[in-house]
């Protein structure tokens, strides 16, 4: 049984190092995709910004209010669309900024605030790359050790539970008769 455990143990450790090393590459591709969406959103907003520059002193907020105050339904709807574009640009800027810190900051940001559609799109076009930066290698090592420790804990707990189960199935141990002391 110890040979099987050792084999699983080493295989799991190798897989965990590889998996941990792939995370930085995925984040880089996610960040590039996010940057592309931000650039497209800025391009979509640019004509409206030009109009705001010409008629509202550069204030998109005033342009949006002007459109929303209109009683003409298509013009009013344009105000809502412009506001949605502005909010989308701000959201994307915040997400891009959050992904420019350290690797650990990027992982935490992506883990806590993922864009499910963006994650799905990135995964569908993902080309696995193993990060070779110091941070990426360190993360791969830390990730592998964490996975390995979890495996060790689960294996030990399962083995202890298995031993208790076997003991219960066998029944109580017969007690040896007590020896009487002769004096």
What is the arithmetic mean of pLDDT over 114-138? 92
Q: What is the pLDDT of residue 54?
A: 97
| Cα four-point dihedral sign 40, 60, 117, 137 | positive
55-85: per-residue pLDDT in tens?
Answer: 999 999 999 999 999 999 999 999 999 999 9
In angstroms, how far is CA 36 from the centroid of its own chain?
A: 19
**Residue 123's CB: how many other CB atoms inside 10 A?**
11
CB 101 within 8 A of CB 109: yes
Residue % of the chain over a pLDDT of 70: 89
Phi, psi values for residue 182, rounded to 5°: -100, 135
pTM of the complete model = 0.75
DSSP class of residue 155?
H
pLDDT at 158: 87
Confidence of residue 92 (pLDDT cuts 50, 70, 90): very high
> How many contiguous H segments (helices) and E segments (strands) does the chain have?
6, 0
Residue identified by tokens 């143990």 is: 9
Using the predicted structure, report yes or no on whether residue 172 has a pLDDT greater than 80: no
Q: Rounded to whole angstroms, how far apart are CA atoms 65 and 178?
A: 96
Domain positions in the chain are: 2-169
Q: Are 56 and 62 in contact (CB under 8 A)?
A: yes
Long-range contacts of 156-165 (CB under 8 A, 24+ apart): none
Place of tokens 């076009």: 125
Contacts of 25 (CB under 8 A, 6+ apart): 127, 128, 129, 130, 131
- Residue-level pLDDT at 131: 85
Look at residue 142 and tell me whether its pLDDT is greater than 90: yes
Query: Which one has a higher pLDDT value, 178 or 19?
Result: 19
């Amino acid at each position: 049984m110890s040979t099987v455990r050792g084999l699983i143990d080493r295989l799991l450790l190798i897989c965990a190092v590889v998996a941990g090393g792939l995370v930085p590459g995925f984040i880089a591709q996610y960040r590039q995709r996010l940057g592309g969406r931000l650039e497209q959103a800025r391009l979509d907003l640019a004509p409206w910004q030009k109009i705001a520059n010409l008629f509202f002193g550069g204030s998109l907020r005033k342009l949006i209010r002007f459109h929303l105050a209109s009683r003409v339904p298509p013009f009013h709807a344009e105000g809502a669309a412009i506001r949605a574009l502005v909010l989308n640009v701000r959201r994307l800027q915040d997400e891009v900024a959050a992904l420019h810190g350290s690797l650990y900051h990027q992982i935490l940001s992506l883990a806590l605030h993922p864009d499910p559609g963006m994650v799905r799109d990135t995964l569908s076009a993902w080309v696995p790359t193993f990060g070779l930066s110091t941070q990426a290698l360190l993360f791969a090592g830390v990730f592998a050790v964490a996975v390995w420790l979890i495996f060790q804990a689960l294996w030990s707990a399962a083995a202890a539970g298995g031993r208790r189960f076997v003991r219960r199935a066998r029944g109580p141990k017969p007690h040896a008769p007590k020896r009487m002391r002769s004096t």
